[in-house]
Amino acid sequence: MENKRIHAALLSVYNKQGLEDIARQLHAMGIVIYSTGGTQQHLEDKDIPVVAVEDITDYPSILGGRVKTLHPKIFGGILAMRNEDHLGQLAHFQIPLIDLVVVDLYPFQETLAQTREHDELIEKIDIGGISLIRAAAKNFQDVVVIPSFREYGLLKGILANNAISSLEQRRQLAARAFSVSQAYDHSIHTYLAGLMPEGSLPLRYGENPHQTARYLGDLDECLDVLCGKELSYNNLLDIDSALSLMSDFHKGPPCFAVLKHTNVCGIAVRENLTEAWGAALAGDPVSAYGGILICNAPVDEATAKAIHPLFFEVLLAPGFEEEALNLLKTRKQRILIRIRHLPVSRTHVRSAINGLLEQDPNEHHTRREDLKPVTRQLADKELIDDLIFAIHCVKHLKSNAIALVKGQQLIGMGCGQTSRVDACRQAIEKAAAMGFDPAGSAMASEAFFPFPDCVELAAKAGVAAIAQPGGSVNDALSIQAADDRGIAMAFTGIRHFKH
């Protein structure tokens, strides 16, 4: 039978986050809860009825808690196939069926990220938990396995269906369980085999929880992490993008930028840092939530007060005034980083097709003399400044990309689109959605216009000037479209693809 209802659950977790809600729901549905050790104590402290594992096994937890659930009366109830032979054996040995196993493993990876104390690491190697996960996953035909607290949302979906799971749900959770097991074992193997080179920082997980990850390098050489939670893989990717972006703005007047998923979503230059922050945030206050912030000047108290209400992951700055730092540190999870200096990268390397791709970094910084006018209408000084600003923004957006800038402020962006015209449309619509009028703005494209459609869209929005690399066989059509509509256009001769 594909659909199975949960009747009995075994709960054994290290991280108790969200456990109470799950356990209360199980109890309310009449599902028997088995548990032991710290999990049992946690549930009993919440007045949630629990059957102790020791009451099933008639054997106490021994060896300082190293052996609790490793017993035939536990694993028999998980691994038993629901056929006459196996069920008969369970009855004979008085072994209860278990059809839900909820585990969250000892935090070996997290501990490895914090210490190299061997004895402490060895004690964080989970044996019973990983065995429960693998046993339940093997028997997914009949058993639901929840291999970490991150899967509680999936379990809640099953419970909402009267605790009935489909075979496909159980199969997917089993696959997830073996992924968790693989990542966990890989971290242990890497440590015990001595495969962690100097400068290797294990991370909790990679881009997603089922991926293992580590950072190889010397973060402290260029950055000083002042406070906050442990840096994640995604934090490091975003920080790298933020530092790369600021390399094009760090020598100028006060500049503030906001990034999300490695793309700049707000950036502005103003006379002081507080005003720059306000203008950068206005570019996309929705995306700024949970974002990465970076600026090119020390954070003063006034700027800190303006930033403080926002939830953000990381703030990077050349420095922090004492009052500013004390205020921002009151949110314990915030990561505050002092930039010692911008990192210098001689090469960019990424894996590809059973090997590596290596290239020089894109360090081209556009200057006024790089802009070659190609239309009758010429951009004035203010528009040229905005064009250069827009080029430096679009350079750091995923292709295909368009940036709209007005008054040294990013007011709209389109990125990661499979067609340039879609990126153009997205940038214009984004500006309008954020309350900006694109009329009189400067537009930059990181690659040439293959057709005049982007110029036509820009003209309808009132864009005053456009910068693009040029080099298309249809350049003449785009230039003619700009001339017909009174738009100033300049070619740079430099493409800024980013994949």
DSSP letters spanning 124-180: T--SHHHHHHHHHHHTTTT-EEE-SGGGHHHHHHHHHTTTEE-HHHHHHHHHHHHHH
Longest CA–CA separation in the chain, Å: 94
- Helix H or strand E encompassing 392: helix 381-394
Give the closest residue to 411 by CA, choosing from 422, 402, 419, 420. 402
CA distance 31 to 161: 14
DSSP structure class, residue 339: E
Strands 8-13 and 32-35: parallel
CA distance 69 to 388: 65
Set 7, 138, 308, 364: catalytic member: 138
Q: pLDDT value at position 197?
A: 66
261 part of the active site: yes
Give the closest residue to 492 by CA, choosing from 356, 390, 355, 357. 390
H helices within 197-272, ranges in order? Answer: 233-246
CA distance 130 to 187: 13
Q: pLDDT value at position 196?
A: 67
Cα 458 to Cα 34, 48, 465, 467: the distances in Å are 65, 63, 9, 12
CA distance 478 to 459: 12
- What 3-state class would DSSP assign to 405? strand
**Torsion angle of alpha carbons 27, 33, 37, 38, nearest 10°?**
-30
* Amino acid at the residue 56: I
Q: pLDDT value at position 193?
A: 83
- Helix H or strand E encompassing 114: none
- Helix H or strand E encompassing 318: none
Please, which residues have CB within 8 angstroms of residue 219's CB and are 6 or more apart in sequence? Answer: 201, 225, 231
Q: Are 56 and 96 in contact (CB under 8 A)?
A: yes
**Torsion angle of alpha carbons 204, 258, 228, 224, nearest 10°?**
100
Set 210, 261, 305, 308: catalytic member: 261
Query: Which residue has tokens 């340039």?
Result: 420
186 part of the active site: no
Q: Are 386 and 466 in contact (CB under 8 A)?
A: no
Q: pLDDT value at position 220?
A: 85
Q: Are 84 and 66 in contact (CB under 8 A)?
A: no
Per-residue pLDDT tens listing for the chain (499 residues): 689 999 999 999 998 989 999 999 999 999 999 998 889 999 999 999 999 888 888 777 777 767 777 888 888 999 998 888 998 888 898 899 999 999 999 888 778 777 778 888 888 888 889 999 999 999 999 999 999 988 898 999 999 999 999 999 999 999 999 988 988 888 888 888 877 666 677 787 899 988 888 888 888 889 999 999 889 999 999 999 999 999 999 989 999 999 999 999 999 999 999 999 999 999 999 999 999 999 999 999 999 999 999 999 999 999 999 999 999 999 988 999 999 999 877 788 888 898 888 888 898 999 999 999 999 999 999 999 999 999 999 999 999 999 999 999 999 999 999 999 999 999 999 999 999 999 999 999 999 999 999 999 999 999 999 999 999 999 999 999 999 999 999 999 999 999 9
Give the closest residue to 444 by CA, choosing from 414, 475, 483. 414
CA distance 52 to 33: 9
Q: pLDDT value at position 470?
A: 95
Q: How many CA atoms lie within 13 A of 320 on its CB side?
A: 24
Q: Is the pTM of this model over 0.85?
A: no
DSSP structure class, residue 395: T
Give the closest residue to 498 by CA, choosing from 423, 398, 352. 398
- What 3-state class would DSSP assign to 487? coil
Q: Which is it for the CA torsion 82, 85, 87, 90, positive or negative?
A: negative
Q: Are 395 and 498 in contact (CB under 8 A)?
A: yes
- What 3-state class would DSSP assign to 465? strand
Strands 200-203 and 312-317: unpaired
Instruction: Tell me how crowded residue 362 is: count the other CB atoms within 10 A of its CB.
Output: 16
Q: Which is it for the CA torsion 148, 149, 153, 159, positive or negative?
A: positive
